[in-house]
Amino acid sequence: MTSKPLPFRRGVGVGPFGLRRASRTDPIHDPSPEEEEGRLALVAFAQESIARGSKSFRFASRLFDKTTRERVWLLYAWCRKCDDMADGQDHGGAMETVADPQARLAIIRELTAKALAGEPTGESAFDCLAVVARECGLTRKMADDVIEGFALDAADWHPRRENDLYRYCYHVAGAVGVMMAVVMGVSPEDDATLDRACDLGLAFQLANIARDIAEDDAAGRCYLPDDWLAMLDIAPGEPMKPHNRKKLALMGRWLADEAEQYEASARVGAAVLPFRARWAVLSAAGIYGEIARKVRNAGEHAWDERIYTSRPEKFHWVRKAFVDALANNPHEMARDGLWSRPK
């Protein structure tokens, strides 16, 4: 996979709420037999990666058309590999003897730069990025914003203020949402729609944080902003103390309510996607949104055991998303007052 990135055709129309309608993104050249063979091998690798890494995303990815589904898998494989490398969980290739977190991040950045330049990397997951970036026009800034999330985690970062929390959510999830939207056919220049795609990532991460407070606390991590903790008179390092459970339930509700707002905004953006992409996005929004709703409804008991969505619940949200995607009439919602990603 050594060819350089190429320009692409993009059909542009006006969708609901003044957003530009996304279209399928097709390369303007036909791949050679060697390129096609290499791509098929990378798609198989990426499919295995998402099957191991995320049942929910694998489930939702089945709803895409074949080309988009493969591109989503390719992008996921790169994200998964970067995450594993940043955590020091990689046991092969360039990372075999690298223990220092900053050195691991330097290798991630180096391999990503090579992939985006169309150079072979020797790592399948980064070659996956090369393919999907070439096919869809993903940019270096998009990739760098995602890598910054791994850097924050590697530095044991902790939010001091609410704005810090949203910055973290952007880098670990919202920036991925931006890249996924481009993979689904949104123009890299369509900031309004990409803002909505970012909102879905923010909603996902807020739901994750709400669900995983106990798990993070056990691992010595805390993603609850200091100013929120101080507002509820929860001492640092003590969110899971029994006497704080009522206060923690309130914080879980705050996070769930915020996630709900960003999910609603993302649904507006999904209206401009092709039908099957819209169906997949709305399915994922419902499935992940259910996690936030369960945290809110469980109150003080939200962390007694890990919250998840069952298979029947997933099918419920997929069926509902199908109806919503057909109707394609989301509630109008301005982004006024919502956090905005850096441009």
| The dihedral formed by the CA atoms of 74, 144, 202 and 87, expressed in degrees to the nearest 10 | 80
Tokens 């075999």 correspond to what residue? 96
**Within a domain: residue 338?**
yes
Judgement on whether residues 67 and 128 belong to the same structural domain of the protein: yes
pLDDT for the residue numbered 98: 52
**Within a domain: residue 25?**
no
Average pLDDT over residues 318-341: 95
| Range in 6-15, 24-33, 42-51, 208-217 the model is least confident about | 6-15
| Range in 22-36, 67-81, 95-109, 158-172 the model is least confident about | 22-36
Judgement on whether residues 57 and 90 belong to the same structural domain of the protein: yes
pLDDT for the residue numbered 21: 56
Q: How far apart are alpha carbons 183 and 129 in whole angstroms?
A: 11
Q: In this model, does residue 116 exceed pLDDT 50? A: yes
Q: Give the number of domains in the chain.
A: 2
Judgement on whether residues 167 and 45 belong to the same structural domain of the protein: no
Does the predicted TM-score (pTM) go above 0.75? yes
Burial (Cβ within 10 Å: 0-12, 13-18, ≥19) of residue 232: middle
Per-residue pLDDT tens for 256-300? 999 999 999 999 999 999 999 999 999 999 999 999 999 999 999
pLDDT for the residue numbered 23: 53
Average pLDDT over residues 136-155: 95
More confident call, 31 vs 225: 225
Last residue of a domain, one of 104, 136, 168: 136
Between the alpha carbon of residue 298 and those of residues 214, 250, 316, the distances in Å are 14, 11, 20
Residue 273 gets which letter from DSSP? S
Per-residue pLDDT tens for 235-264? 999 999 999 999 999 999 999 999 999 999
**Within a domain: residue 147?**
no
Judgement on whether residues 198 and 240 belong to the same structural domain of the protein: yes
Judgement on whether residues 121 and 188 belong to the same structural domain of the protein: no
Judgement on whether residues 195 and 324 belong to the same structural domain of the protein: yes
**Within a domain: residue 95?**
yes
**Within a domain: residue 319?**
yes
Residue 239 gets which letter from DSSP? T
Judgement on whether residues 89 and 225 belong to the same structural domain of the protein: no
* 15 φ/ψ sector (left φ>0, alpha ψ -120 to 50, else beta): beta
**Within a domain: residue 265?**
yes
Say if CB 24 and CB 67 are below 8 A apart: yes
Domain residue limits at 60: 33-136
Q: Residue 265, SS3?
A: helix
Q: How far apart are alpha carbons 299 and 70 in whole angstroms?
A: 39
Q: In this model, does residue 47 exceed pLDDT 90? A: yes
Of 289, 287, 272, the closest CA to residue 325 belongs to 272
Q: How far apart are alpha carbons 94 and 208 in whole angstroms?
A: 30
More confident call, 2 vs 126: 126
* Range list of β-strands (E), the chain: 8-9, 13-14, 20-21, 26-27
Q: How far apart are the first and last CA of the chain?
A: 30
Residue 14 pLDDT level (bands cut at 50, 70, 90): very low
Domain holding 332: CATH number?
Answer: 1.10.600.10
Judgement on whether residues 239 and 331 belong to the same structural domain of the protein: yes
pLDDT for the residue numbered 20: 56
pLDDT for the residue numbered 280: 94
**Within a domain: residue 7?**
no
Q: Which helix (H) or strand (E) holds 44?
A: helix 33-53
Residue 3 pLDDT level (bands cut at 50, 70, 90): very low
Say if CB 40 and CB 22 are below 8 A apart: no
Q: How far apart are alpha carbons 224 and 227 in whole angstroms?
A: 9
Judgement on whether residues 216 and 82 belong to the same structural domain of the protein: no
